[in-house]
Amino acid sequence: MSNINKENAQVIKEKIEKLNEQKRKIEFEIEDIIQTSMPKFNSIWNTVGSWDCKNSPIGVCVYNHMEDPALDDCLYCGKPDERK
């Protein structure tokens, strides 16, 4: 029934590996931008959230995961990362 034969599976696997590699590069790039563009919070303790943030220079919420491990308090707008 399955149309995923061994050859297709290999192709899919390689595609996913490539995409994962790109994902890692993008994550590194984002991290790099944050670390270099935000001198005020230029530390290894900053984490990018997943929400748009008008106050943030990078447009998304940023958290200090050392002081705020639950990501409850964006450095710019004070909103939590976890929202409904």
For residue 48 the two structure tokens come to 């990018």
| Closest to 16 measured CA to CA, from 61, 8, 32 | 8
Of the candidate residues 34, 48, 76, 81, the single one contacting Zn ion (CB under 5 A):
76
Q: How far apart are CB 59 and Zn ion at their closest, in Å?
A: 9
| 48 scored as a contact of Zn ion (CB under 5 A) | no
CA distance 83 to 61: 12
Of the candidate residues 34, 47, 48, 53, the single one contacting Zn ion (CB under 5 A):
53
Of the candidate residues 34, 47, 48, 61, the single one contacting Zn ion (CB under 5 A):
61
Listed ranges 25-33, 40-48, 54-62, 65-73: which one lies at the site for Zn ion (CB under 5 A): 54-62
DSSP SS3 for 32: helix
